[in-house]
Structure 1
Amino acid sequence: MDFGKVRHPEEINFELPPASPATQLVLTRLTSATYLKPKIYLGCPTWANKDWLGTYYPAGLPAKDFLHYYSQQFNTIELNTTHYRIPDQTTVAKWCGAVTPEFKFCPKWPKQISHEQELLHVESATDAFCTALLHFKENLGVSFLQLPPGFGPNQLNILEKFLTDLPRAIPLAIELRHPDWFSDPIAFEELSAVLEACEVSTVITDVAGRRNVLHQRLTTATAFIRFNGYLHNTTDYARADAWLEQLTTWMEQGLQTLYFFVHYEEIIHSPKLIRYMLEKLATVSGLPPEGAMPIPQPVQGSLFD
């Protein structure tokens, strides 16, 4: 993730800000009386990871089989390919046929809708993408709409109309980057009210160079977090510990679904951090920490066999 990239991440204060008091109110209001345990999904931004060959994938695995083995290791993926092209039904069926029934795809909305037209006059493209999303069926997680850096509070009415017209069957989270959303408390609360009314989640992004997007405000009982690791050392794991503490609190307050995506420039590090988090989350979720583990590789024979 290039957004928020800095030259010296070791100089950044990665401390999490306090959770918004409104988050607890939202979770308390939305939690069902039959709520038991949250659904937890941890994954990466891509399955096309050649660096995993011989560790998380079998050595020599053909690229066409990467997704299948990815779904054996993780239960969700941040599907960025849909940002560039709306997939047809055949493609979606092929993807879904490669994964487990419990696996969730989280498709990113097309840039034509979000960046090129900024939600204006996008009815045809929106209908086409919503149709594609529904083809994922039970494998559809939460889609996410990343708005461009220039999309600011003065365009809230455009966002509200877009969300109001969107079918409720489409799970959605919104990622905002314009700094004015976060520097103006009134604008941010107006935004949050719209998202709550439309049953749309927020995306929380944890990157080095833009700490203001780490807002800790949930508008539904779903948390969608994009975490960018940098240092591959105790600093990143301390950041993970802080997130685990926050997530545990939200679970106690009624969080129903968690999506947590780990980005690294060197993708080999992502499964290590995910495995660490899975083992920690197992103690509060009661779920076994499955996946994100190197798999046994065939051992070539020797002259002495």
Structure 2
Amino acid sequence: MWTHKAWQGRLLAHPLASHERLRHYAGWCDAVEGNTTFYATPTRDTVASWAQQTDPDFRFVLKLPKLITHERRLVDADGALRVFLDAIEPLGPRAHALWIQLPGSFGPADVAVLASFLRRLPSSHRYAVEVRHPAFFDEPRSAALLEEALAVTGAEWIPFDTTEFFRSPPTSEAEREAWTRKPRVPFRSRALTDRPIVRYLGRDDPARTIEGWQRWIDVAVEWLREGRSPTIFVHTPDNADAPVLARRLHDDVRARVPELEALPDPMPAGPLTLF
């Protein structure tokens, strides 16, 4: 997501041609969730434009199409997968990980299907799996079963931390909408690989969002000192200030790990008043 309406003319210059929007976003953050690929596989030309707008070390975490993960539930999806992999080939090293988000109904009984799917994937990419079935969080045996399947192919488990969001009732329209759609799963911070990926959902109140990510600072610092390279995505229900908040989180981690590389200098479109 790099064309959020609330950012235009405020965080990003406006108007911008479509082939410039990602370039401006990449001045704020060095990674992006490729959520649009869940709904449709982009053309190679579109993906080539993404590559042209970003440096080789920019990180795309691209979601596999729902046709593969939700409609076919990883079965009989090899053709659709080949089309997707061909489309994203122009990204080269920018394809940091391919994100396999599974529906909430995909539970422990389906782990064998996931394991089979992972074994068929080409080794040219890294993979990360997001699960939402409560058994993977509440039952140690189910969690171990999933971790074993992921370990065979070196895939990561993406935690989606919504604990701060669900700590108290919603106070805005965006929060009320998210309240009915976002998963309620326990906090998880165990990394399986050297490239852990975290999705964090705060509140529309920046102070609440910052309060809720304090433990992720400790986790990120530990991971970095262990030699891991984490990617953390910051969300709020309205996402209006997400890039600013992401930079604030990065700065908080960098204050404790000074050798962490600074984020790029943004091209602001107007004065910032969040902090």
**AA matched with 2:251:** E
Task: Tell whether the 8 Å contact from 1:133 to 1:170 is kept in structure 2 after alignment.
Answer: no
Question: For residue 112 of structure 1, what is the amino acid of its counterpart?
Answer: L
Cross-structure match for 2:220: 247
Per mean C-alpha deviation after superposition, the further-off stretch among 288-297 and 100-109 is: 288-297
88-97 or 159-168, which deviates more:
88-97
Structure 2, unaligned runs of 5 or more: 167-182
* 1:294/1:268 CA distance change after superposition, 3 Å: farther
The corresponding residue for 1:73 is 28
1:58-113 residue CA offsets vs partner (Å, 9 max, x unmatched) = 24334442112111221111011111111222111111112223212111000000
Q: Is the 8 A contact 1:174 1:201 kept in 2?
A: yes
The answer as to whether partners of 2:56 and 2:93 remain within 8 angstroms in 1 is: yes
Which whole-Å deviations, capped at 9, do the CAs of 1:254-284 have from their partners, x for residues lacking one?
32x2111111232222122112112122230
SS in structure 2 opposite 1:55?
coil
Q: Deviations over 1:199-256 (max 9, x none)?
A: 000101111345535322222111111111214243211222221111112222332x
Which aligned pairs between 1:46-57 and structure 2 lie closer than 5 A?
A: 46-57=1-12
SS in 1 for 2:185: helix
Further displaced range: 269-278 or 159-168: 269-278
Amino acid at match of 1:286: E
State the shift of 1:158 in Å.
Answer: 0.5
Equivalent residues in 2 for 1:38-49, closer than 5 Å: 46-49=1-4
Unaligned runs of 5+ in 1: 1-45, 299-305
Aligned to 2:41: 86
Q: Could you say which residue in structure 1 is the equivalent of 2:179?
A: none
Query: Number of paired residues?
Result: 252
Which residue in 2 is equivalent to 1:222? 195
Give the structure 2 partner of residue 260 of structure 1.
232
The CA RMSD measured in Å over matched residues stands at 2.1
Normalising by structure 2, report the TM-score.
0.84
- Determine helix, strand or coil for the equivalent of 1:190: helix
Aligned residue type for 1:277:
L
Identical columns (%): 27
Distance 2:224 2:270 in 1: 37
**Structure with max Cα Rg:** 1
Aligned counterparts, 1:184-203, within 5 A:
184-203=139-158
| 3-state SS of 2:240 partner | helix
Change (3 A) 1:250 1:102: closer
d(CA) in 1 for partners of 2:261, 2:103: 38
Instruction: Specify the code of the residue in structure 2 equivalent to 1:244.
Output: I
Tell me, yes or no, if the aligned pair for 2:41 and 2:65 is still in contact at 8 Å.
Answer: yes
